Structure 1
Amino acid sequence: MIDVEDLIALVTAYNPRSDTGKIREAYAFGNEMHEGQMRHSGESYFTHPVAVAALLTEMRLDDATIVTALLHDTVEDTRASYTDIAERFGTDVAELVDGVTKLTNLQLGSTETKQAENFRKLFIAMSRDLRVILVKLADRLHNMRTIKYQSPDKQAKKSRETMEIFAPLAGRMGMQWMREELEDLAFRVLNPEGRASIIRRFITLQRETGDVIHKITADVRAELDRLGIEAEVFGRAKKPYSIWRKMQEKGQGFSRLSDIYGFRIITENELDCYLVLGAMHQRWKAVPGRFKDYISQPKSNGYRSIHTTVSGRDGKQVEIQIRTRQMHEVAEAGVAAHWSYRDGVRAENPFAVDPARWISSLSERFNDSDNAEFLEHMKLEMYSDQVFCFTPKGDVVKLPKGATPLDYAYNIHTRIGESCVGAKIDGVRVPLWTRLKNGQSVEIITAEGQRPQATWLDIVVTGRAKSAIRRSLREEDRERYIRLGQELARVAFDHIGKRSSQKALRTAARRLGVEDTDELLARLGSAELSAREVVNTLYPELAAREGEEVDAARAVLGLDADQTSTRGACCQPVPGERIIGITQRGQGVIVHAIDCPTLVEYEDQPERWVDLHWHSGRHAAAYAVTLELTISNDAGVLGRICTLIGEQKANIADLQFVDRKPDFFRLRIDVELRDMEHLHMVMTALEADNDVAEVARVRNAVHRP
């Protein structure tokens, strides 16, 4: 374990004015609080906070962040409290420790709504003080470096979380070195055979070709010396995971992958960057489509550099990054460069981005998003590379890789996107699904009366465009969704013996952060919110009981002890619908939906009527319902429809074609479902498919009991 004097030496090396007394006090306090606690490796637990603090000194961070690292687990794992930290180390440190503690408690690898909710909390923590995320990233990096001492299940869970959340987040913040190391450490756990194979091939390649990095570095330095340009040159082989990802993306084997080496040239000034670029392109052939100028068009996190790929020695493709020393400091530290110290004062780096401005640039796109859309936005933000396009006036528009003219239109203004009818790229009319490339000039053609189409959702890739299109489509279908939502809410509340009153719905809307009851019902009707979530918000204990799966033998309540029941084939009632029973000699009680036309026949036989209702709880998917679909007669459509039903956790019991036309098929599918909510989910998923022209529930009044 690094002792306190060694840690202080690391801090004072870049910040001679550091409050060393405060760091000593934090070291002693943390050591005392964690006394007796051990890591899985058998080491004292306090070795971990000290290692995290040491990692943060590499980024030359301020005293408050270093102290936070030493104390970041005290509130979570020891008897220390927020008040204790605030009294001894100040509210700034206490707030940072509290923020890290809350992030530690987030289950970021959970699924769907919970993951989205936790992502939002992560983002809120970032917006309050980005140093919280810096401590958390250093914490995760040290844990990944020592993950071999964890159980296999925990290793896999932490590695997936690292690969999906923390590595992309580090990259999005500009800390590319940390992203690469986190990815490779996770790759070591998740695919050890794949990683080992990459390393073996590297060793074989080095044996065959010698030290390529040393040779190419010498070639570059010789060229710079010839032109009298002062610069440093660094070469390295890319990380195993980076190579593996390229192999997967390009569908190529290792032997065909050429750009597995990367080189950085650090110059004295910006002018030299372009002189070096010219020298490299003059000495070697540039690879088309592999040039990016992030100096003239910086990334939002402050990253500046020129990227080019050339065909170097022996025809090997090598990637070269060219930047000044100040640009390099930001490239290494990312947004963290804002807090970087040198000689006891904040480093005045003109390229460091103000974290508040950076967070604001992200948050303005998320304000109107619900949980699912927010999750989509965050993942797009963290994983996307960028393309730079130009407006007809020459202004630059930044978009993620794979963006289309529709994304461009919505990026300009929602009104432009909604009224878009076409686009021109470099003066040529193109389809709206065309993928944009760097340097293209884009012009949007609009028309009054145009409205967003459901098919646009398959064209756009940006969260902003998807959110705006969904909102517009939701408004068009709002009345229909509100009516559906009312029925779903009634059924869900009936399940637990409650009434879906306006007051109950208003309360649920407020607790779920929805603006009013109409919006709540619209989200229910559009399947963006489940009825179970609404009920659980108001009656969690009842909802928990309702979540237990009901035995199919006692699904219907209201029968006498000696009576059995059968679902009516005429109306195929499912849990959630109001039901009534009709006694039938030799068949027990036939269960009908309350609105079944067959019941008219028994109006004058009240003695045969039995008052029934469904057992509250989660039913098995065992209630067959017939759906009639009209679908496109195209290859693969029927298979996709069947897969879509399966994705909704529903089983297809029977399928038959009713009508076959050259362009459309009409078919009936018997689907086994849990309840009315499950039926609605399946029908909504089918209606949303572009190749489904119509879907309806079929009730056959001819088949009577």
Structure 2
Amino acid sequence: MKLDTEFDVDEEFGTLIATLRGWLSPEEVGLVERAFVFARQRHGDQKRASGAPYMLHPVKAALVLAGYRLDAETYAACLLHDVLEDTQTTGKELEDGFGSKVASLVEGVTKLHGLNYLSREENNLENVRKILLAMAADLRVVLIKLADRLHNMRTLQYLSEDKQQRIAQETMEIYVPLAHRLGIYELKWEMEDLAFRYLNPDEYRRLAGLVAAKRAEREAFVKETIGQIDHFLEEKDIHAQVSGRPKNLYSIYRKMVQQGKTFDEIYDLIAVRILVNTIPECYLVLGYVHEAFTVVPGRVKDYIALPKPNGYQSLHTTVMGSNGEPLEIQIRTKRMHEVDEMGVAAHWKYKEGKAADLVDSERFAWLRQMVDWQRDVRSSGEFVERVKVDVFSDEVLVFTPKGDVINLPVGSTPVDFAYHVHTDVGNNLVGAKVNDRIVPIDTELVTGDRVQIITSRNSGGPKSDWLQFVKAASTKGHIRAYLRKKELEHSTPEKLDVEEHPRTVATRPSLSGRRTAADSGFRIVVRGDATLPIIMATCCSPSYPDEILGYVTR
């Protein structure tokens, strides 16, 4: 096996600089070059587990980000991202040499380097908390971390099997959903397949073999379909780019598991994309596609009118191909396609303001909400539940009576909708209408539903059994908070009928014989109070009018 050398580092860095010159000024390129020289000098003779020069890693990570046309500070910080942790470099040196913004980015990435693998729930909580706080401070920190993680996944074969499993699991549970939420699909798909390869190697190899066996047949079918689409679009005088994209292995595997199907029953292994210039052309082309092919009912999705929470926009339709199998066709503008592929990174390509402006936008309201929640949650489990459900899950898009769009986790109910609108709306809910029809409050909402909440000040508040059917972790948090507040109100000292006695010095009880409380001469009369919260013991299931006896044990 050929080992990477210092020559490879120079060659890869040359490729990086040649790419960056496509949009960075000479002064900005100079900043990146100075960062490379500094990092290389500080890392010195350090090696990766593969035996390659350590400096090859930050260069490769920067090359991952090169396709997203980011700013010079991001590339400089990416090249420097390990110097604080792995060398004697200080934050002040970075600030003096490269400015406060680059130093801040490197420090942010270094904090994320301190994350532990998912060995305990508390570690998982700290991982997610640090990532969310880093994102809120500057999204570029997380972009660098994603590139760092992708290159580490590409070289995972050099680590022990135990480390491979832990890193792959963490990648699948945190970094893949994070890339999805940020809309950076190319990174997501590659990390997903690499993690799949290490977490389920037998299934990965089997599926890869099945896909390869049908590749020629599938490519011939897609080529024929693309030619057919090109022909009728040319006749309609529509200028478009038509191409095919194979689905990644893990998405195929997930569909097989979720739908209980074999590989031969999964047909949409490739999606055909049609890129046009304007939004009206998207809908025009959709009509032409439906004229030319047989449409599969119920499979048309309009993500242009209702974008996904991560900003994804496109028209999706499924038609029957010439081979009699379903084929997914995606139609969008070229600008939408770039944004769909690059996710939040497109913010820099189109120079839509500073990173802070992006975090402050409505698109990242979920992030600001999570940062607020992490300060308030009572337990790590509650916070991790909120993140997994409210951040790292698919969503449905429903409407308010005024036509505003609300994003909710899949499986949400009118109760989830009510609490998303406002806590008071949820606390005073007495009923709900979906599409102008009164429905049970545990009805599962689907994309496109129009939801109206019926409230009353005499509702009595949320009920504990709501926790059994609501979906959003934030909803559960609001309900639990209300119930805890009510419990405390009913448990105030003036409600308790307890006679106070002077304090006495505690002594170790005699265990010479088993005595009841009655034998000791001290008695406590427990009076009934319907307003007090009661937890029934599971050991003996006491019921009225049973007498209660207490005794001292070891």
TM range, smaller chain: 0.7 to 0.9
Q: Note the C-alpha offset of 1:103.
A: 0.6
Tell me if the contact between 2:117 and 2:166 (Cα under 8 Å) persists in the aligned partners. Answer: no
**In the alignment, structure 1 residue 580 sits paired with structure 2 residue 500:** no
User: Alignment partner for residue 474 of structure 2, among 456, 459, 464?
Assistant: 464
1:474 and 2:484 aligned: yes
Aligned to 2:358: 354
Letter in structure 2 aligned against 1:308: T
Secondary structure in 2 matching 1:263: strand
* 2:250 equivalent in structure 1: 241
**C-alpha deviation, 1:188, in angstroms:** 0.3
Where 1:354 maps in the other structure, the secondary structure is helix
The AA in structure 2 aligned to 1:472 is Y
Partners of 1:694 and 1:413 in 2: CA distance? 41
What aligned pairs does 1:692-703 form with structure 2 within 5 A after superposition?
A: none
Cross-structure match for 1:324: 333
Q: Deviations over 1:192-220 (max 9, x none)?
A: 11111212222333466663332322232
1:428-439 equivalence runs, <5 A: 428-439=437-448
- 2:82 is aligned, of 51, 69, 73, to 73
**Structure 1 vs Structure 2: percent identity of aligned residues?**
40
CA deviation vs aligned residue, 1:272-298 (integer Å, no higher than 9, x gap)? 111111122222233333332221222
Amino acid across the alignment from 1:459: F
The aligned counterpart of 1:516 is none
State the match for 1:51 in structure 2: 60
Separation in 2, partners of 1:394, 1:160: 40
* Match in the other structure for 1:111: 120
Post-superposition shift, 1:161? 0.3
Aligned residues: 512
SS at 1:222's partner residue? helix
Deviation at 1:2, TM superposition (A): 4.2
Corresponding residue number in structure 2 for 1:204: 213
Query: What is the CA–CA distance in structure 1 between the aligned matches of 2:302 and 2:195, rounded to whole Å?
Result: 31
1:336 to partner: Cα distance: 1.4
d(CA) in 1 for partners of 2:144, 2:371: 24
Equivalent residues in 2 for 1:195-594 (5 A)? 195-206=204-215, 211-340=220-349, 347=351, 354-357=358-361, 358-364=363-369, 367-368=372-373, 369-370=376-377, 371-450=380-459, 451-478=461-488, 580-584=509-513
Distance in 1 separating the partners of 2:26 and 2:351:
13
Contact 1:264–1:321 (Cα < 8 Å) also in 2 = yes
Q: Which of 3, 24, 41 is 2:33 aligned to? A: 24
Q: 1:701 to 1:85 in 2, by over 3 A?
A: closer
Cα distance in structure 2, aligned partners of 1:94 and 1:703: 62
> What is the aligned partner in structure 2 of residue 188 from structure 1?
197
8 Å contact 2:309–2:407 — kept in the other structure? no
Separation (CA, whole Å) in 2 of partners of 1:133 and 1:155: 22
Give the superposition deviation at 1:50. 0.6
How far residue 132 of structure 1 moved from its aligned partner, in angstroms, is: 0.4
The equivalent of 1:547 in structure 2 is none
Q: Indicate the residue corresponding to 2:102 in structure 1.
A: 93
Give the unaligned 5+ runs of structure 1: 341-345, 484-576, 585-589, 604-626, 630-666, 670-692
Moved over 4 A (4+): 207-210, 346-349, 479-483, 697-705
Kept after mapping to 1: 8 A contact 2:115/2:123: no
Structure with the greater alpha carbon radius of gyration:
1
- Structure 2: give runs of 5+ residues left out of the alignment: 1-7, 494-505, 524-535
Residue in 2 that maps onto 1:13: 22
Once the two structures are overlaid, the 10-residue window that deviates more, 178-187 or 417-426, is 417-426
Q: Which has the higher contact order (CA 8 A, sep 6+)?
A: 2
| Distance in 2, Cα, partners of 1:209 & 1:177 | 22
| TM-score normalised according to structure 1 size | 0.68
Worse overlay, 292-301 or 68-77: 292-301
Q: Aligned to 1:422, what secondary structure does the other structure show?
A: strand
C-alpha separation in 1, matches of 2:126 and 2:551: 49
Q: Deviations over 1:493-526 (max 9, x none)?
A: xxxxxxxxxxxxxxxxxxxxxxxxxxxxxxxxxx
CA distance in 2, matches of 1:18, 1:175: 28
Cα shift at 1:448: 2.9
Cα displacement string for residues 569-626 of structure 1 (whole angstroms, at most 9, x for unaligned residues) = xxxxxxxx99623325xxxxx5x7xxx42642899xxxxxxxxxxxxxxxxxxxxxxx
State yes or no: 1:173 paired with 2:178.
no
Distance 1:208-1:272 versus aligned 2 partners, 3 A rule: closer
Residue in 2 that maps onto 1:132? 141
1:315 aligns to what SS in structure 2? coil
Residues 285, 469 of structure 1: alpha-carbon distance in 2 compared, 3 angstrom cutoff: farther
Q: 1:578–1:47: structure 2 CA closer, same or farther, 3 Å change rule? A: farther
Q: What is the CA deviation profile of residues 540-561 of structure 1, one whole-angstrom value per residue up to 9, with x for unaligned ones?
A: xxxxxxxxxxxxxxxxxxxxxx
Q: C-alpha separation between the residues in 2 aligned to 1:46 and 1:601?
A: 78
Q: Could you tell me which amino acid in structure 2 is paired with residue 453 of structure 1?
A: K
- Taking a change above 3 Å as real, the CA distance of residues 70 and 482 of structure 1, as seen in their structure-2 partners, is farther
Q: Partners in 1 of 2:471 and 2:215 — Cα distance? A: 41
SS of residue in 2 equivalent to 1:321 = strand
Q: Is the 8 A contact 2:295 2:320 kept in 1?
A: yes
Asked if residue 600 in structure 1 is aligned to residue 529 in structure 2, the reply is: no
Instruction: Report SS of the residue matched to 1:318.
Output: strand
Contact 1:386 1:399 in 2 (8 A): yes
- Whether the aligned pair in 1 keeps the contact of 2:84 and 2:107 (CA below 8 Å) is yes
Q: Deviations over 1:116-135 (max 9, x none)?
A: 24422221111111100000
Deviation at 1:694?
9.2
CA distance in 1, matches of 2:424, 2:409: 20
Secondary structure of the residue that 2:510 maps to in structure 1? strand
8 Å contact kept, 1:167–1:179? yes
SS of 1:449 mapped into structure 2: coil
Counterpart of 1:331, as a letter, is: D
Contact 1:365–1:464 (Cα < 8 Å) also in 2: no
What is the deviation of 1:148? Answer: 0.6
1:184 offset after TM fit, Å? 0.7
Q: Distance in 2 between matches of 1:578 and 1:280?
A: 87
Q: Is the 8 A contact 2:109 2:144 kept in 1?
A: yes
Aligned counterpart, 2:532 = none
| 1:41 lines up with 2:45 in the alignment | no
Q: How far is the alpha carbon of 1:303 from its aligned partner?
A: 2.3
